[in-house]
């Protein structure tokens, strides 16, 4: 049963990954990152149960905290970018290059 969970988490993680790479809207990219984090949480919980020790869940808990902090800052940045550049597309912000 556990491998099913892990395959699901891998699948969700991969979908999240592809989402990050393919979408141009900053917020959607952000959501995909969240999706990847959730996939990891699922894996953690699965392993907690598999190995019979609560650390997995603890880690998942901490992941959530960090994800929250990250979202706050990320969105703040997106807002500031939007305010100056009137667009939330990730590709517009490409001045720092060769």
Partner 1 sequence: MGESITFWVLAVVSVIAALGLVFSRRAVYSALMLGVVMLSLAVLYAVQDAPFLAAVQIIVYTGAVMMLFLFVLMLVGVDSSDSLVETIRGQRFWAVVGGLGFAVLLALGIGNAVVGSPKGLTAAAEGGNVSSLAQLIFTRHVFAFEVTSALLITAALGAMVLAHRERTEAKPTQRDLSRQRFAAFGRTGKNPAPLPGPGTYARHNAIDMPALLPDGTISPLSVNRYIARYEESKGILPPEVADVLEQEEAAQRTAAQANGHGGHSTPTVAEEARDGGPDTEPLPEGTEQDTVVAGRVVRPRGESAATEEDGK
Partner 2 sequence: MEPAEIIQHSGGAIGAAWLMIALPLVGAAILLLGGRRTDKIGHLLGVLMAVASFAVAALSFVQLLGFAPGERRRGIELYDFVPGLAKVGLLVDPLSISFCLLITGVGSLIHIYSIGYMAHDPNRRRFFAYLNLFVAAMLLLVLADNYVALFVGWEGVGLASYLLIGFWQHKPSAATAAKKAFIVNRVGDFGLLIGLFTIFATFHTLAFNDVFANADKASSGTLTAIGLLLLVGACGKSAQLPLQSWLLDAMEGPTPVSALIHAATMVTAGVYLIVRSGPIYQGAETAQLVVTIVGVATLLAGAIIGTAKDDIKKALAGSTMSQIGYMVLAAGIGPAGYAFAIAHLITHGFFKADMFLGAGSVMHAMNDEVDMRKYGALRKVMPVTFATFAIGYLAIIGFPLLSGYFTKDGIIETVMEHNAVLGWLAVLGAGITGFYMSRLVFMTFFGAKRWEPTAHPHESPAVMTWPLIILSIGAIGLGAFLVLGNRFMTFLAPAVGAPEEMPSFHPFSLTGLATLALVAVGAVFAWFRYGAAEVPAVAPRGSFLTTFARRDLYGDALNEALFMRPGQWLTRLAVFFDNRGVDGLVNGLAAGIGGTSGRLRRIQTGFVRSYALSIFLGAAVLAGAWLVVGNL
Q: What is the dihedral of CA 66, 43, 45, 55, to 10 degrees?
A: -70
Question: Binding of partner 1 at residue 85 (CB under 8 A)?
Answer: no
- Interacting residues with partner 2 between 74 and 93 (CB under 8 A): 90-91, 93
Total binding residues toward partner 1, as defined by CB under 8 A: 74
Contact window for partner 2 (CB under 8 A) among 14-22, 41-49, 53-61, 76-84: 14-22
Residues 6+ apart with CB under 8 A from 27: 75, 78, 88
Alpha carbon 13 to chain centroid, angstroms: 9
**Interacting residue with partner 2 among 4, 21, 83, 84 (CB under 8 A):** 21
In sequence order, the 6+-apart residues with CB closer than 8 A to the CB of 30 are 71, 74, 75, 78
Could you tell me the two tokens for 79?
Answer: 């807002």
96 binds, among partner 1, partner 2, none (CB under 5 to 8 A by kind): partner 2
Match 């392993």 to its residue by tokens. Answer: 47
Site for partner 1 in 5-44 (CB under 8 A): 5-19, 21-25, 27-28, 30-32, 34-35, 38, 41-43
Q: Which residues of the shown chain bind partner 2 in the complex (CB under 8 A)?
A: 17, 20-21, 24, 90-91, 93-98
């Amino acid at each position: 049963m556990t491998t099913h969970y892990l395959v699901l988490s891998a699948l969700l993680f991969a979908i999240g990954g592809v989402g990050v790479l393919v979408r141009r809207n900053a917020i959607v990219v952000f959501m995909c990152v969240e999706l990847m984090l959730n996939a990891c949480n699922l894996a953690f919980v699965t392993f907690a149960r598999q190995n019979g020790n609560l650390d997995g869940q603890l880690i998942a808990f901490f992941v959530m905290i960090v994800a929250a902090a990250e979202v706050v800052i990320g969105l703040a940045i997106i807002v500031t970018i939007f305010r100056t550049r009137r667009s939330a597309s990730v590709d517009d912000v490409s001045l720092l290059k060769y």
